[in-house]
Structure 1
Amino acid sequence: MNFYQSLGVLVFGSRLKRLSDAFLSDVNRIYKSHDIPFEASWFPVFYLLSQQEAVSISDIATQLEVSHSAASQLVSSLQEKKILKTATTPDDARKKLVTFSPKGRKILAQVLPVWTALQQAMEQLIQEGEHSKHLLSAITDIENRLEQTPLLSRIETHLQSP
């Protein structure tokens, strides 16, 4: 048992972050080794646009559960790289629609096989462990409970108790 495992729930967040960092590092290494100019952090926006031809920045923010500012910054970054393009809607000049540029569509075609392989590898990994089969439902359960009562409130309650 390593240091992190020995501390149990006290370092739950740290363990999730370490797992996430390792996961994203390997995924980014795959893109790099296959000469695909793509970063794992772009996945949510790319996926949304792969499912819909055009998406507003507000819809991106809503669907990804991030601030409008965070969604706008990511879109702007990808726009600077000439991967995405934006245009105002004819009915509301304040509303921007995001679409792939030709370069973005080319990158999407390159990443789709990686996403398929990634999904297969992750499904295989989850099936290998006795407890990992329940991982996604357990994470969803924790997310839902934290939405009802944030961790901050839970900690404060325990700090106020004798």
Structure 2
Amino acid sequence: MNFYQSLGFLVFGSRLKRLSDTFLQDVNKVYKAHKIAFDASWFPVFYILSRKKEVSIREIADELGITHSAASQVVTGLQEKGLVKMAVSRKDARAKAISFTAKGEKLQQKIEPVWQALQQAMEQLACEGNKSKQVLQGLTEMETHLQEQSLFSRIETVLASQQA
């Protein structure tokens, strides 16, 4: 058992971060190996656009559960790369709509097979262990419970009960 495993939930966030960093590095290696100019951090916005074709920054932020500012930063970065464009929305003239440029559409078509391979590889990985199959369900449950009561609130409750 390594250091992180021995500390259990005390380092849960650190382990998730390490796992996420490893995951994203490997996915970026795949893009690089296949000469695809794409960064894994763009995936959420690219995926949304690949399915909806046109969205507002507010829709992106709401869908991803991030701030409007964070969504705007990602979109601005993609705009600077020439992958997305912003125009007046067809649905609401007061809003800006984000959509792929021709370059963005071409890139999206190149990365779609990588996404499919990633999905298959992750499903294979999940099947390699009895509990691995339950990871996504467990994460979903934790996310739901944290929406009901934050970790901060939970820690404060424990500390208050220890002082009583």
Please give the TM-score of this superposition, normalised by the length of structure 2: 0.95
Q: Mapping of 1:24-103 within 5 angstroms?
A: 24-89=24-89, 92-103=92-103
- Identical aligned pairs, as a percentage? 59
- Structure 1 residue 93: Cα displacement: 4.7
Equivalent-residue separation in structure 2 for 1:89 and 1:38 (angstroms): 26
Query: What secondary structure is seen at the aligned counterpart in 2 of 1:128?
Result: coil
- Structure 1 residue 106: Cα displacement: 1.1
CA RMSD of aligned residues (A): 1.1
2:154 matched to 1:154? yes
- Structure 1 residue 92: Cα displacement: 4.5
- Structure 1 residue 52: Cα displacement: 1.2
Please give the TM-score of this superposition, normalised by the length of structure 1: 0.97
1:19 is aligned to 19
Equivalent-residue separation in structure 2 for 1:38 and 1:71 (angstroms): 17
1:136 is aligned to 136
Structure 1: gaps of 5 or more residues = none
1:145 is aligned to 145
Per residue, is there more strand in 1 or in 2? 1
Structure 1 residue runs of 4 or more that deviate by more than 6 Å after TM superposition = none
- Structure 1 residue 58: Cα displacement: 1.0
- Structure 1 residue 94: Cα displacement: 3.8
Query: What secondary structure is seen at the aligned counterpart in 1 of 2:95?
Result: strand
Equivalent-residue separation in structure 1 for 2:141 and 2:43 (angstroms): 23
Equivalent-residue separation in structure 2 for 1:19 and 1:114 (angstroms): 20
Equivalent-residue separation in structure 2 for 1:91 and 1:11 (angstroms): 46
Structure 2: gaps of 5 or more residues = none
1:113 is aligned to 113
Query: Across the two proteins, how many residue pairs are aligned to each other?
Result: 162
